[in-house]
């Protein structure tokens, strides 16, 4: 989350500063965490058991190696590592736009709710809880709007889990041929993002409000931001996990052989059990902590820096917050 609009600050960071800070945060996050995201996506996309009861542990480890590294499973360690960077171009576009949109957009929605609907939230939930719920609601609304970025997410996931579907095809050719097919799974994505983003921003606000006792969230210390980010992110990933698995499987199907979400859910329950809805959850949770702490810290450091730089050079000029 970028520094919140309003509050006790003398001014709000400019939109340009938010784009520059959150965009840089997204780029750095991508370079460091894209391999782990690839591992999680491949585990979620794998249909079947990796560790089969009764089979030797070595056989399960061999299967795990095949699932994670696919065709590079028998290559050197360095080449296996490089195999975890498929679709980096699509991932870069998606991740940077996602961070700019989410980190920069949520404070604006929060500002709108605070200006126009604060009394209603306070009347229903009380003042402290009302502020937390407003943060969560703003996050949820922004999360639903992320569906606009779905084509880049679809191409990123396909390049990570089903690269044959994109082989020999350029971006323009894919967009021309597939059209609205790139929005396949849009309803499931919105269904995942609404509670996921609600939990992310609401969980972070809850920690700051109730555990840290903060009135102005922008005054949070590094450790308070650390706790808030971990609390919100783990809650978000866990809440969204089942629909995230369904969304991933919808998106990694070949363009010419789509499958509905309900069909996928039915097969998952019948063939893999309910545990399939939480495949890939462990690596995602393990990376969520450092991932969100990293991106949050970089954004919090760079947004004010870019703001001061742009203001001092006359590039932007913000008005004081009333």
DSSP assignment of 76-112, as one string?
Answer: -HHHHHHTT-TTHHHHHHHHHHHHHHHHHHHHHHHHH
- The whole-number average pLDDT for the span 156-165 is 69
Q: How far is CA 298 from the centre of its chain?
A: 16
Residue of 286 and 212 predicted with greater confidence:
212
Hey, CA dihedral for 42, 74, 57, 47, is it positive or negative?
Answer: positive
Mean pLDDT of the chain: 81
Using an 8 Å Cβ cutoff, are 4 and 225 in contact?
no
Is the pLDDT reported for residue 111 higher than 80? yes
Q: What secondary structure letter does DSSP report for 208?
A: I
**Which carries the bigger pLDDT value, residue 280 or residue 320?**
280
pLDDT at 87: 63
> How many residues are recorded in the chain?
322
146 in Cβ contact with 213 (< 8 Å): no
**Closest by CA position to 154, among listed 176, 180, 191, 192:** 180
Model pLDDT for residues 241-258, shown as the tens digit of each residue? 888 788 777 766 666 667
- 34: helix, coil or strand? helix
Average confidence (pLDDT) over 163-179: 67
Give residue 185's pLDDT band: very low, low, confident or very high (50, 70, 90). Answer: confident
Distance between CA atoms of residues 114 and 137, nearest Å: 11
pLDDT band (50, 70, 90) for residue 124: very high
Q: What is the pTM of this model?
A: 0.68
| pLDDT of res. 139 | 92
Q: Provide the pLDDT confidence category of residue 322 given band limits of 50, 70 and 90.
A: very low
Domain boundaries defined on the chain = 15-312
Q: Does position 276 have pLDDT exceeding 90, yes or no? A: no
Rank 15-19, 57-61, 106-110, 220-224 by mean pLDDT and report only the highest: 57-61
Checking if the pLDDT of 119 tops 90, the result is: yes
**To 10 degrees, what angle do helices 222-251 and 150-161 make?**
70
Quickly state the pLDDT bin for 37 (edges 50, 70, 90): confident
Predicted pLDDT at 165: 67
Overall fold of domain 15-312:
Mitochondrial carrier fold (1.50.40)
pLDDT at 10: 44
- Contacts of 302-305 spanning 24+ positions with Cβ under 8 A: 302/20, 302/21, 302/24, 302/25, 303/2, 303/3, 303/13, 303/17, 303/18, 303/20, 303/21, 303/22, 304/3, 304/13, 304/17, 304/21, 305/21
- Angle formed at CA 227 by CA 223 and CA 233, multiple of 5 degrees: 140
Residue 224's region, left for phi above 0, alpha for psi from -120 to 50, else beta, is: alpha
What pLDDT score was predicted for residue 272?
Answer: 82
> Distance between CA atoms of 187 and 261, rounded to whole angstroms?
10
pLDDT class of 104 with cuts at 50, 70, 90: confident
Higher pLDDT, 6 or 295: 295
Q: What pLDDT, on a 0 to 100 scale, did the predictor assign at position 21?
A: 86
The mean pLDDT of 274-288, rounded to a whole number, is 76
Comparing 89 with 48, the larger pLDDT belongs to: 48
Three-class SS state of 160: helix
Confidence check: pLDDT of 136 > 80: yes
For 63, other C-beta atoms within 10 Å of its C-beta total 18
User: Are the CB atoms for 107 and 4 separated by under 8 Å?
Assistant: yes
- What pLDDT, on the 0 to 100 scale, is given for residue 250? 77
């Amino acid at each position: 989350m970028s520094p919140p609009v309003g509050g006790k600050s003398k001014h709000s960071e400019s939109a340009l500063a938010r784009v520059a800070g959150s965009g840089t945060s997204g780029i750095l996050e991508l370079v460091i965490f894209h391999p782990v995201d690839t591992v999680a996506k491949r585990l979620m996309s794998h249909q079947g058991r990796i560790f089969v009861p009764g089979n030797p542990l070595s056989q399960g480890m061999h299967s795990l190696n095949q699932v994670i590294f696919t065709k590079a499973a028998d290559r050197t360690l360095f080449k296996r590592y490089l195999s975890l960077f498929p679709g980096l171009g699509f991932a870069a576009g998606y991740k940077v736009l996602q961070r700019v949109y989410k980190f920069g957009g949520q404070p604006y929605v929060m500002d709108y709710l605070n200006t126009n609907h604060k009394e209603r939230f306070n009347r229903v939930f009380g003042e402290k809880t009302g502020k937390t719920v407003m943060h969560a609601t703003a996050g949820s609304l922004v999360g639903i709007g992320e569906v606009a970025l779905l084509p880049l997410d679809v191409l990123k996931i396909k390049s990570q889990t089903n690269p044959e579907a994109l082989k020999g095809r350029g971006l323009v050719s894919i967009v021309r041929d597939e059209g609205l097919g790139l929005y396949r799974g849009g309803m499931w994505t919105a269904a995942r993002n609404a509670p996921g983003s609600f939990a992310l921003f609401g969980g972070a606000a809850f920690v700051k409000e109730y555990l840290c006792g903060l009135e102005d969230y922008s005054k949070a210390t590094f450790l308070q931001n650390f706790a808030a980010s971990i609390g919100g992110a783990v809650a978000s990933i866990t809440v969204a996990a089942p629909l995230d698995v369904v969304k991933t499987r919808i998106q990694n199907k070949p363009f010419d052989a789509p499958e509905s979400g309900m069909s996928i859910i039915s097969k998952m329950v019948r063939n893999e059990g309910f545990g399939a809805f939480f495949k890939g959850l462990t690596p995602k949770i393990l990376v969520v902590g450092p991932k969100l702490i990293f991106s949050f810290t970089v954004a919090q450091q760079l947004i004010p820096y870019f703001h001061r730089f742009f203001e001092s050079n006359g590039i932007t000029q913000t008005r004081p917050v009333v």
